[in-house]
Chains A and B, each alone.
Chain A
Amino acid sequence: EVQLLESGGGLVQPGGSLRLSCAASGFTFSSYAMSWVRQAPGKGLDWVSAITGSGGSRYYADSVKGRFTISRDNSKNTLYLQMNSLRAEDTAVYYCGKDQEYYDSSDFFDYWGQGTLVTVSS
């Protein structure tokens, strides 16, 4: 059974940093791309970042480029999102999502974690 478990959310001041983790199990983690998707309170889904299975390629939404860094440790079956220079508009539930083997035009998320809430406020 595929499981994705996010952690690391919490309250942080504007300009602060936070690192999210997503522990994966039930599938060959290194064979699949992974993504972070966020959802602000009462709003829709907003893709944040993706990383290929090997970690060799990373992709970011313009809104987080230069502030967030996605990474993975395939030996620990864990996905990360380092978030720096946080802003109020980054407040959201952050989900990790399991992509497909290849991060390409046929991509979709077949499994999602339960999400972790990040609140940016003074």
Chain B
Amino acid sequence: SYELTQPPSVSVSPGQTASITCSGDKLGDKYASWYQQKPGQSPVLVIYQDNRRPSGIPERLSGSKSGNTATLTISGTQAMDEADYYCQAWDSSTVVFGGGTKLTVL
């Protein structure tokens, strides 16, 4: 079955840039989406189709992809960005999520 790999944790200082990666076989041929989930809350879509941002999502969150690795970048990280982040792709009629990355703002 298809798998997406994320680092379990990423730490960043306030105001700095955080990058969360998501890698998968032939991910370069698929669309990647990203979700933010804060404790006790439902996931929220923050990036779709690799680099498109839904309305209401701050511009400091951006998505990109190079080869088979998608990256969520958070510029000027704020305390409110501390959350779990999940990447997602679609493969063979199934939706696949990465294992999630806990972003800690130190």
Contacts and interface: CB of A to CB of B under 8 A. Distances in A.
B15 interface: no
Interface of A: 35, 37, 44-47, 50, 59, 61-62, 95, 103-115
A62 B1 contact: yes
B97 A44 contact: yes
Interface string B72-106: 00000000000010101010011111111000000
A50 B1 CA distance: 17
Contacts of A104: 90
Contacts of B100: 44-45
Nearest to B29: A105
27 contacts: A37-B95, A44-B97, A45-B37, A45-B43, A45-B88, A45-B97, A45-B100, A47-B95, A47-B97, A61-B94, A95-B42, A95-B43, A105-B90, A106-B49, A106-B90, A107-B31, A107-B90, A107-B95, A108-B31, A108-B48, A109-B33, A109-B35, A110-B45, A112-B42, A112-B44, A113-B42, A114-B42
